[in-house]
Amino acid sequence: MKAATERPGSRQSDREAVRQPVVDGLRGFRSLGARLHPRQARGGAAASGGEELPGCPVAAPGGPPWSPGRSLVISGYSGVGGACDHPCVNGFDIIGDIHGAADELETLLAGMGYERSDPTGAYRHPVRTAIFVGDLIDRGPQQLRVLEIVKEMADAGSAMVTMGNHELNAIAFASPDPTRPGEYLRRHSAKNQAQHAAFLEQVVGDDRSRFLDWFMTLPLWLDLGDIRIVHACWHGPSMAVVESEVGGNRFTAPEQFVRASTKGDPLYTAVEVLLKGPEVGLVQYGQPAFLDKDGHRRDRARLRWWNGQADTLDDLAEIGGSFTTEDGSPYPSVAAVPVPADERSYVYTDRVPVFYGHYWRRWAPQQSVDWTTYTACVDFSAVRSGALVAYRWSGEQTVMPGNYISSLQFSPQPA
């Protein structure tokens, strides 16, 4: 594990980066803007110099001459259990929720030019890096293969991964509750068992322990400077809570999972927003409850935090066209009533593109529903006869819908 060191002649922003807290030897990528490429290569390959890299959208402060295909290194993405070196980065391919759809994953990776050319056998792109937004597991039929592919890439430095709510749930499902003997941090209720059954069946024994240990090390978000990645919702106040409670953008101690599983704990509330997304109440505005996709009654709707213009309840409440009330009748239209500032505070108004998953969209992406100038969802329901999707970012400062790519665009690999 390495801590960043300040190099002579580094830029002011670089110096700011290294002032970020380093906790227990862990540091998040957050403090290292992607444009900086501060390099401290493992094994003495550390770079020095000062010129920017032509052709690279994330200009680097120095280093060996850049050329296509040359592996440069970003330091700072040092997970628990070993540092990762990342290849530079002629762009990032942000890949949506996979949920055990390994065939679609390999189709998409191959279609984007990733090959198993790495000496470790991991998929790698010559000049780009993959970023997975989480929810690798649950529901789908090939979860172990997905985990092997993605972790190999993360270990080889050809991908980064943020935690999804399904990874957090898996950790909590497997963690005994210290305050309630015999119970787990995530209850083994019939509903929770059903949601997790495919994982429990497919990922067993040492594999399960190994991948659960890895899940615990995943960052809850990545701030790469020019782009941001989070599973469900980018929300500065929630991130500030996480940073103050755990010291950075990832968990660092087992008791933090207890707190993150305890309703009412500030860490629980913050992590829920980041990994499951904020919700807005319906009933207090005179709207009825609805039945969700699994038939469960909900009196709060998902909040459209990505809608930068959202103001009233109908702007904020995400009600799908197929939603019904509890008696099965179509959900009535949502009233345009004002909502208090705390509900509106989730709305994203920063001018930095943020990429997220979680929302089970249907391909193809629609403006203002799936993407806006500064937000882009990459979850298009890979395991529900949908599409596994990536957004291929190459330095643009606003979201460009033409940069979405879908597994459906490539002929599937032979079974």
List of residues contacting Mn ion (CB under 5 A): 135, 164-165, 358
Strands (E), 205-292: 221-223, 228-230, 279-281, 290-291
C-alpha span between 47 and 65 (Å, rounded): 10
CB of 388 to Mn ion, least distance (A): 14
Q: How far is the CB of 292 from Mn ion (least distance, A)?
A: 13
Rounded to 10°, the helix 165-174/205-216 angle is: 120
**Nearest to Mn ion by Cβ — which residue?**
358
Q: Which one, 208 or 276, has the nearer CB to Mn ion?
A: 276
Q: How far is the CB of 64 from Mn ion (least distance, A)?
A: 39
Shortest distance (Å) from residue 384 CB to Mn ion: 13
297 with 291: CB under 8 angstroms? Answer: yes
Token digits for 317?
């409440």
- Smallest distance from the beta carbon of 163 to Mn ion, in angstroms? 10
Q: What DSSP character marks residue 401?
A: G
* Identity of the residue, 66 or 359, whose beta carbon is nearer to Mn ion in the bound complex: 359
- Answer whether 27's CB lies under 8 Å from 78's CB: yes
254 with 171: CB under 8 angstroms? no
Residue 272 CB, shortest distance to Mn ion, in Å, is: 12
- Classified as helix, coil or strand, 184 is strand
Between 139 and 151, whose beta carbon lies closer to Mn ion? 139
Select 186 or 358, whichever has its Cβ closest to Mn ion: 358
List CB contacts of 89: < 8 A, sequence separation 6 or more. 34, 37, 56, 58, 72, 74, 127, 128, 129
CA distances to 189, 200, 255, 348 from 310, in Å: 36, 40, 37, 9
Q: Give the shortest CB-107-to-Mn ion separation in angstroms.
A: 21
Looking at beta carbons only, is 42 or 298 nearer to Mn ion?
298
E strand residue ranges, 142-211? 159-161
φ, ψ of residue 137 to 5 degrees: the values are -115, 180
Whole-angstrom Cα distance, residue 355 to residue 96? 9
For residues 38 and 164, which CB has a smaller minimum distance to Mn ion in the complex?
164
**Residue number, 156 or 220, with CB nearest to Mn ion:** 220
